[in-house]
Amino acid sequence: MKIEHPKGNKRKLSKFYTRQNELIDQFLGAEDEERQQVDEDARMGPKIKFAVNASFTVNFCLFVIQLYAAVSTGSLSLFATAADAFMDLVSSFVMLITSRLAARPSVYKYPVGRTRIETIGIILFCALMTTVAIQLLVESGRALGEGKRASEELHIIPIVIVGVAIFAKGSLMLYCFAYRKYPSVHVFFIDHRNDIVVNSFGLIMSVVGDRFVWYLDPIGAMCIALLILFSWVANAFEQVWLLVGKSAPRDFLAKLTYMSMTHDTRILKVDTVSWRLPSNDDAVSDNEAVPGVPCRSEILRGDRHRHGRGDPVEDFSRRGARAAEEGRGTRRCRESLRPR
């Protein structure tokens, strides 16, 4: 490297070539990635389904338990943890409804699809949770202003039930940790980990605030409310980028260009490749020059049956194709693609 680049920084050059070698390795294995992923998903499907269903069930039970404990004890910290559990349930419900709406396209009413409705639903839910967090902050501030209340008898049963729920969350977190490489399970792993921290903190602040230092309970509620507030405001800003249409990393575009160029010998060149984020799904468009071939989609359909392998962009659904004559016997095809 010193001979070819005598004035180059050795560390930066080494980092650059290491990244290039990793990118080449990804290129060489691009054709088999999808088939291996399909086989792996089929093999691990039941375990992944159990993790998702069990996580949703435990989240529902945790919300009921937290609400019961908060009402029984009157603890603001437990009310804050109940709001956090409610947040998980409603977010799952919103994602379910919006994803079903997005999966039912209406070509005439929504020519570009309805995938953005999922992103809009998340932003609306962020606004809802921001309102809940602000209300918790107001109630906690009011409790601090009113001063110490008369101490009541410690409610053992609600606290024990919350402890059992936290233990169940911990068990599921360990189970999801084993399958965290799958996106749906990884989301629940992060959710369980965060819930254990939040609920343990809320339970400790509730007990200590009731028995020893009275103002720790509203302070704990304020801390949890601030956590909810900042996390969902940050989430809302992330979703805004999905609506704007942010571009992809350069390595991903290079890989997509390689897959498009090497997919069929009739593809002469790749003119442009672009990738954007119109929603939680992705959208890809590529321009290719193919001599005497109407469009790349025909090459993909024929090549799948001839070589017995999947479409390298099988995860993308075609939203439209446009062909225009350019030169002798050459058509330039443009396809817009996004994941199903």
The one-character DSSP state at 71 is: H
DSSP-derived 3-state class of residue 40: helix
Query: Nearest-CA neighbor of 221 among 340, 141, 308?
Result: 141
CA distance 60 to 17: 49
Same domain, 240 and 155: yes
Query: Nearest-CA neighbor of 100 among 109, 89, 112, 92?
Result: 92
User: How is residue 262 written in tokens?
Assistant: 């090497």
Same domain, 224 and 256: no
CA distance 105 to 276: 20
| Number of domains observed in the structure of the chain | 2
Give the model's pLDDT for residue 44: 62
Q: Could you say which of 190, 220, 244 is where a domain stops?
A: 244
Residue 278 sits at the vertex; the CA angle it makes with 51 and 317, to the nearest 5 degrees, is 70
Same domain, 201 and 334: no
Same domain, 275 and 130: no
Give the model's pLDDT for residue 340: 39
8 domain residue, yes or no:
no
Answer for the pair 331, 324: CB distance below 8 angstroms, yes or no: yes
User: How is residue 291 written in tokens?
Assistant: 């001599």
CA distance 313 to 316: 6
* Dihedral angle computed from the Cα positions of residues 217, 223, 228 and 229, in that order, rounded to the nearest 10 degrees: 120
Same domain, 224 and 82: yes
Same domain, 308 and 179: no
212: number of Cβ within 10 Å = 8
Question: Is the pTM value of this prediction over 0.85?
Answer: no
Same domain, 162 and 63: yes
222 domain residue, yes or no:
yes
Q: Could you say which of 193, 223, 244 is where a domain stops?
A: 244
Answer for the pair 79, 136: CB distance below 8 angstroms, yes or no: yes
The one-character DSSP state at 110 is: -
CA distance 164 to 308: 52
Same domain, 256 and 334: yes
**Would you say how long the chain is, in residues?**
340
12 domain residue, yes or no:
no
Same domain, 233 and 131: yes
Is the CA virtual torsion 63, 68, 69, 71 positive or negative? positive
Same domain, 196 and 305: no
Q: Could you say which of 199, 214, 244 is where a domain stops?
A: 244
22 domain residue, yes or no:
no
Same domain, 65 and 211: yes
Instruction: Provide the residue range defining the domain that includes 296.
Output: 250-339
Same domain, 71 and 200: yes
Query: If DSSP states are collapsed to H, E and C, what string results for 179-196?
Result: CCCCHHHHHHHHHHHHHH
Q: Output the domain CATH number for residue 138.
A: 1.20.1510.10
- pLDDT tens per residue across all 340 residues of the chain: 555 555 657 777 778 778 777 777 766 665 555 565 666 666 666 777 777 777 777 778 878 887 887 787 777 777 777 777 777 777 667 666 766 666 666 666 766 666 667 677 777 777 877 887 787 788 788 877 777 766 556 667 777 877 887 888 888 888 878 877 766 677 677 777 777 877 787 778 777 777 777 778 788 888 878 887 887 788 778 777 777 766 667 777 777 777 777 777 787 777 777 665 554 444 444 444 444 444 444 444 444 443 444 444 444 433 333 333 333 333 333 333 333 3
Give the model's pLDDT for residue 171: 84
